[in-house]
């Protein structure tokens, strides 16, 4: 089998979408599936055996770290020369929409998966006309695809409500060997707490951007005694957050990957995630695998993976009172937090990337054989 993958973002940038893309390419390589990836040209030429077809790109005005790729006739020529059996589009926006069009022109099945609500992002930043246009474009791209995949039940329901007929569920997973409670580390805990390791460490991991609404955690720091916040990650909103949290028990721990990131998760106590919107939220599963409960807004996959009262708590977007009460409930009684940490780890162990990627490969074969995919 030969598969062409289209994505709006790729290495050297690292985010949730890129990580899923990398895991997909690695899984396809293990399965012996020849893969080509079409992505913004940022110098990458190969990954996990897949050749990268870079397309010219410009800086994204909404998302400065991102790039907007501009496919051209040479892109089509290179993809056609690859002779793909199937197209997998990681969101039919710009590069992705061209993947849908290329697939229809070449007469091969097109699978499109949902990865980022870019229309919502544009609207959030006040670009309402852009958001409207993106919503129309992306929805049409999904409708033109032979099959579509949502990352969570919330997104799946939304896509069906938009009139997209064939919507499966491609769950997200976690490396439960890397993210593990055994990596709890006194030195890391001291660093995250700025020398106050006996206090309750609230952790956020991810991009520091306005839509993540990290400012809402200030009310938790004010009302739940003995709590401190550690922020792992970087982004354009960091200077504003540093000013907003000045004088409060907040540590900016910077960008981390691999073992360093895993130790940060395991060395904290509660993961907080007040985001305004999310496609899934890989960080939620990573936190739970590391053995810390999650207090998250009801976005992305939060409702799929967090068991309220057991492995964490969820609250409505912008419900700051719900965020405060969720954190307070985690530390409400002796032994309560330890029990929730154990429950979070147990829950995360059900989400194996190996199983999830095997399901994706089975979906590919079903589409090529004209069968209904099992996911």
Least confident of 122-136, 237-251, 343-357: 122-136
Among 3.90.320.10, 3.40.50.2000, 3.30.1490.100, 3.40.630.30, name the CATH number for the domain at 181-348.
3.40.50.2000
Average pLDDT, the chain: 94
Q: What is the mean predicted confidence (pLDDT) over 250-273? A: 97
Q: Is the pLDDT of residue 56 over 80?
A: yes
Q: Where in the chain is the domain with CATH 3.40.50.2000?
A: 2-173+352-368, 181-348
Q: What is the mean predicted confidence (pLDDT) over 194-201? A: 98
Confidence of residue 91 (pLDDT cuts 50, 70, 90): very high
Least confident of 63-72, 233-242, 245-254: 63-72
Confidence of residue 64 (pLDDT cuts 50, 70, 90): low
Q: Is the separation of the CB atoms in 211 and 121 below 8 Å?
A: yes
The backbone torsions φ and ψ at residue 74, rounded to the nearest 5 degrees and listed phi first, read: -65, -35
Q: What is the mean predicted confidence (pLDDT) over 242-249? A: 98
The per-residue pLDDT for 62 is 64
The backbone torsions φ and ψ at residue 3, rounded to the nearest 5 degrees and listed phi first, read: -120, 130
Tell me, which fold does domain 2-173+352-368 have in CATH?
Rossmann fold (3.40.50)
Query: What's the number of CA atoms in the CB half-sphere (13 Å) around residue 158?
Result: 17
């Amino acid at each position: 089998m030969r598969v062409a993958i289209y994505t709006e973002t790729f290495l050297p940038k690292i985010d949730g979408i890129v990580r899923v893309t990398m895991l997909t390419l690695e899984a396809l390589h293990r399965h012996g599936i020849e893969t080509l990836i079409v992505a913004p040209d940022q110098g990458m030429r190969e990954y996990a055996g897949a050749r990268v077809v870079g397309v010219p790109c410009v800086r994204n005005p909404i998302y400065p770290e991102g790039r907007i790729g501009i496919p051209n006739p040479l892109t089509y020529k290179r993809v056609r020369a690859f002779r793909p059996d199937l197209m997998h589009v990681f969101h039919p926006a710009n590069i992705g929409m061209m993947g849908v069009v290329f697939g229809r022109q070449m007469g091969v099945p097109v699978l499109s998966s949902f990865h980022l609500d870019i229309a919502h992002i544009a609207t959030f930043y006040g670009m309402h006309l852009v958001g409207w246009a993106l919503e129309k474009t992306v929805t049409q791209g999904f409708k033109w695809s032979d099959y579509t995949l949502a990352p969570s039940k919330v997104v799946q329901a939304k896509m069906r409500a938009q009139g997209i007929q064939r919507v499966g569920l491609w769950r997200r997973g976690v490396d439960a060997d890397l993210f593990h409670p055994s990596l709890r580390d006194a030195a890391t805990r001291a660093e995250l707490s700025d020398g106050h390791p006996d206090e309750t460490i609230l952790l956020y991991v991810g991009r520091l951007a306005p839509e993540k609404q990290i400012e809402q955690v200030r009310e938790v720091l004010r009302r739940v005694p003995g709590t401190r916040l550690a922020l792992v990650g970087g982004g354009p909103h960091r200077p504003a957050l540093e000013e907003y949290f000045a004088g409060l028990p907040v540590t900016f721990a910077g960008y981390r990957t691999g073992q360093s990131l895993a130790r940060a998760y395991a060395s904290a106590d509660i993961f907080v995630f007040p985001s305004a919107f999310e496609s899934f939220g890989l960080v939620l599963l990573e936190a739970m695998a590391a053995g810390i409960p999650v207090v998250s807004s009801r976005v992305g996959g939060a409702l799929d993976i967090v068991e309220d009262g057991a492995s964490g708590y969820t609250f409505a977007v912008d419900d700051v009172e719900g965020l405060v009460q969720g954190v307070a409930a985690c530390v409400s009684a002796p032994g309560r937090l330890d029990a929730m940490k154990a429950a979070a780890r147990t829950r995360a162990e059900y989400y194996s990337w190996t199983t999830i990627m095997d399901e994706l490969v089975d979906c590919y074969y079903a589409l090529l054989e004209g069968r209904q995919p099992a996911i």
